[in-house]
């Protein structure tokens, strides 16, 4: 938040919208990188990629970047040597930008509030900047972990403001009741949107 304790209007429209946000993200795609990185000090992508790289050392692993947006995460992972990255998003505007990065083997449209039909499961999954407010929500985490091979990791960020406002800690405390086939490996606090001083929590999940 800024000195006046107000949330940036670009973030506010995403945080408060409970309806279909596809259109909102389609429209944001062209200025997203500049807005987030230059103005809002977005570092969640960097922090989450560092966590994934520690867990997944095999650079040939098949990785899904769920809610890939313009491809910041895919670009980082590709630069770190990962060769098999797919990306999904419900916004075609975002997917078009992600394609331009050449970081992804496959890109496809998918709404994370719905299960994902897969030909083969992924060895790892990363979802950055997607979970927190409204949808997708805690209830949809299973759609991610359903995409994983046994022992595969999912690295999922949760916006720190949403963590507090939407009482994610309570749900996390009850995690094993909701997801008996998933291990909550760890929760890590990261810097997230540095300009507004919003931190984030990273859920590291492992398919059992
Ligand atoms: C804040 S952006 C983060 C993008 C990217 N992961 C990054 O770190 O820059 C959130 C992304 O999640 C996508 N998204 C939001 N809700 C979604 C849903 N229910 N299903 C699929 N994608 C969704 C948006 O279209 C947008 O591209």
What is the C-alpha to C-alpha distance for residues 17 and 11, in angstroms, rounded to an integer?
10
Ligand 1 center to residue 28 CA distance, Å?
Answer: 11
Contact 176, 142 (CB under 8 A): no
Distance CA 195, CA 208 (A): 38
CA-based max dimension of the chain: 50
pLDDT digits (tens, 9 = 90+) for 72-96: 999 999 999 999 999 999 999 999 9
Pocket of ligand 1 (CB under 6 A): 21, 25, 45, 67-69, 72-73, 89-91, 94, 111-113, 128-130, 135-136
Q: What is the pLDDT of residue 116?
A: 92
Q: Where are the domains of the chain?
A: 9-14+25-207
Q: What is the pLDDT of residues 121-153, one digit of tens each?
A: 999 999 999 999 889 999 999 999 999 999 999
Integer angstrom CA distances of residue 29 from 47, 106, 192: 22, 19, 19
Tokens of 48: 């989450």
> DSSP string of 127-147?
EEEEESSSSS-GGGHHHHHTT
Q: What is the pLDDT of residue 4?
A: 53
Contact, 74 vs 85, CB < 8 A? Answer: yes
pLDDT in tens, the chain (208 residues): 555 567 787 777 777 766 678 988 999 999 999 999 988 999 999 999 999 999 999 999 999 999 999 999 999 999 999 999 999 999 999 999 999 999 999 999 999 999 998 888 999 999 999 999 889 999 999 999 999 999 999 999 999 999 999 999 999 999 999 999 999 999 999 999 999 899 999 999 999 9
pLDDT at site 3: 54
- Tell the residue nearest (CA) to atom 3 of ligand 1: 129
Class at the top of the CATH hierarchy for domain 9-14+25-207: alpha beta
192 phi and psi, to 5 degrees? -135, -70
- Measured by CA distance, the residue closest to atom 27 of ligand 1 is 69
* Closest Cα to atom 4 of ligand 1: 69
Q: At what angle do helices 44-55 and 72-79 cross, to 10 degrees?
A: 40
Give dist(CA 127, CA 87) in Å, integer.
10
Query: According to the model, what pLDDT value does residue 14 have?
Result: 72
CA 120 – ligand 1 centroid, Å: 22
Nearest Cα neighbor of 104 from 79, 125, 128, 83 is 83
Residues 182 and 45: their CA atoms lie apart, in Å, by 23
Q: Which residues contact 23 (CB under 8 A, 6 or more apart)?
A: none
CA 86 to centroid of ligand 1, rounded, Å: 14
If one residue of 36, 38, 89, 159 were mutated to test the ligand 1 pocket, choosing by the most ligand atoms within 8 A of its CB, it would be 89
Question: Residue 177 and residue 123: Cα distance in Å, rounded?
Answer: 24
**Among the listed residues 38, 94, 41, the one whose alpha carbon sits nearest the alpha carbon of residue 65:** 94
């Amino acid at each position: 938040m800024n000195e006046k304790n107000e949330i940036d209007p670009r973030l506010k429209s995403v945080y408060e919208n409970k309806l279909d946000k596809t259109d909102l993200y389609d429209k944001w795609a062209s200025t997203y990188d500049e807005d987030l990185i230059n103005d809002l000090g977005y570092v969640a992508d960097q922090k989450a990629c560092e966590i994934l790289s520690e867990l997944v050392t095999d650079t040939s692993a098949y990785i899904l970047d769920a809610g890939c947006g313009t491809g910041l995460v895919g670009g980082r992972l590709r630069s770190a040597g990962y060769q098999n990255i797919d990306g999904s998003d419900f916004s075609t505007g975002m997917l078009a930008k992600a394609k331009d990065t050449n970081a992804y083997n496959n890109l496809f449209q998918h709404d994370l509030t719905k299960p994902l039909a897969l030909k083969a499961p992924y060895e790892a999954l990363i979802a950055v900047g997607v979970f927190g407010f409204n949808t997708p929500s805690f209830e949809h985490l299973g759609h991610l972990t359903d995409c994983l091979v046994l022992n595969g990791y999912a690295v999922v960020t949760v916006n720190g403001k949403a963590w507090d406002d939407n009482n994610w800690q309570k749900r996390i405390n009850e995690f094993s009741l909701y997801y008996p086939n998933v291990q909550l490996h760890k929760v890590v606090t990261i810097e997230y949107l540095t300009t507004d001083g919003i931190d984030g929590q990273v859920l590291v999940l492992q398919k059992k």
